[in-house]
């Protein structure tokens, strides 16, 4: 996506209104949607933050992400086999 520039007015108490098309594009149309505020030298960036459902939080733990990285590494160096069907898999197990 190409970079776009928009201007918005800061209202009383620091409130801003994000244009509707941008809210839709980033999934921010529901009340309570979160934005991360990032301060950099001379600028403020907003990044949409989609909350993780509690029943999926385990996947994003440091331990689990480390294991995901190990799996990705094993795949990239060819330590993982792929099979077309269960019969091919079972045949490989027997050999």
What are phi and psi for residue 79, nearest 5 degrees? -85, 0
Is the predicted pLDDT of residue 95 greater than 80, yes or no? yes
- Does residue 59 share a domain with residue 85? yes
Domain limits for position 58: 54-94
Mean model confidence pLDDT for the chain: 91
Q: Model's pTM, two decimal places?
A: 0.49
Within-domain flag for 76: yes
Total number of domains in the chain = 2
Nearest to 26 by CA among 17, 35, 15: 35
Within-domain flag for 67: yes
Within-domain flag for 34: yes
Within-domain flag for 5: no
The label of the residue with tokens 């970079």 reads: 3
Q: Where residue 1 falls among pLDDT bands split at 50, 70, 90?
A: low
63 Cβ contact partners less than 8 Å away, ≥ 6 residues apart: none
Which DSSP category does 56 fall into? G
Within-domain flag for 4: no
> Length of the chain, please?
95
Tokens of 67: 């294991």
Q: pLDDT tens across 46-63, in order?
A: 999 877 888 988 998 999
């Amino acid at each position: 996506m190409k970079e776009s520039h928009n201007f918005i007015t800061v209202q009383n108490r620091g409130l801003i209104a994000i244009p509707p098309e941008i809210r839709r594009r980033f999934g921010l149309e529901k009340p309570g949607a979160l934005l991360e505020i990032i301060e950099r030298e001379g600028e403020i960036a907003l990044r949409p933050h989609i909350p993780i459902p509690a029943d999926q939080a385990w996947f994003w733990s440091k331990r689990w992400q480390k294991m995901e990285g190990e799996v990705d590494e094993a795949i990239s160096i060819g330590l993982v086999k792929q099979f077309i069907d269960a019969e091919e898999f079972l045949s490989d197990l027997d050999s």
